[in-house]
Amino acid sequence: MNRGIKRILVTGGAGFLGSHLCDRLVAQGHDILCVDNLFTGSKSNLTQLLGRPNFDYMRHDVTFPLYVEVDEIYNLACPASPVQYSVNPVQTTKTSVHGAINMLGLAKRTGAKILQASTSEVYGDPEVHPQQEEYWGHVNPIGPRACYDEGKRCAETLFFDYHREGRVRIKVARIFNTYGPRMDPADGRVVSNFICQALLGQPITLYGDGRQTRSFCYVDDLIDGLIRLMGSEDAITGPINIGNPDEFTMIELAEMIVALTGSRSPLIMRPLPADDPRQRRPDIARARDMLGWEPTVRLREGLTRTIAYFDALLSCAASPVLPIAMQGDIVLPPAYPVNRLGA
């Protein structure tokens, strides 16, 4: 094998982020094994890769061991939005914890380098702003979001214990809100919610007073950050924040999407969900210094690309039909074509 070509495993590879990562790694010429149980991923995200000689797909649940030979592992497997992980919170925790144990065991056996896709949710509802990697977080361990927040925190613990005890080569990325094409329209994330509501002419749902903030990173920038972290020297283990430090209120985001879509959707207020963070903004000094990375796509540009994707998706008669969907306050009319979760 060409020494520049690596055998790379991507778990959760049929998901939003995983499929974009597979695209980039396949384009670089590496041999890619994409593993996904399709709990929230979709094979439709991989149609452009199926049949490529350096791409293989395996339906597998990472809560069970996997025996393959690889050089690198990107561990992205896990539901990543409240709508998704509230469906089965126990399975979500198992995916984070058992999945981490199984993938770390595989990395230890093969000598592979392994990257954990962690999350800004490890900071919980932060009392420090912006969030630096040294901050330990403010998380409710028994709340409705704990299956995801604490599952990811435990996974980070496992990664560093395997690194210290077993000398496994690890990388930990803390991913902040990411958006772009291939987001599921019914996954309950704020960007997909607002865009679909605007395109469908439905009221745009804001929670609380709409002044809570998020920082949105376009998917291409995020993938670049993950690949740079994986390619960094072994001494750089992380955790490293990967996100866009530009901060917006939910009202600002909604108004921008309304303007870009030309929608007349009104804004409506709903009660704030339990444990919903009030502020979220990454300090990316470590990513800049250690990886030479920072995002390049501004929010307006990224939203324009994302809106075009959803506009085509919601207009495509060839898409699978979901009779009625009521997730994340999006109500899709009967026979309105959308991608079904897990299809």
Among all residues, which ones are annotated catalytic?
148
d(CA 46, CA 14): 6
Contacts of 162 (CB under 8 A, 6+ apart): 104, 107, 108, 168, 170
> Could you tell me which of 227, 319, 224 has the C-alpha nearest to residue 30?
227
Identity at 183, one-letter amino acid code: M
Question: What are the tokens at 104?
Answer: 């770390």
Question: What are the tokens at 12?
Answer: 């959760």
Question: What are the tokens at 45?
Answer: 């995200």
**79 near 39, Cβ under 8 Å?**
yes
Backbone angles phi, psi at 283, to 5 degrees: -90, 115
| H/E segment holding residue 114 | strand 113-119
Q: Which residues pair with 114 in a beta bridge?
A: 73, 170
Alpha-carbon distance values, 66 to 37, 51, 69, 90, 121 (Å):
13, 23, 10, 21, 27
| H/E segment holding residue 19 | helix 16-27
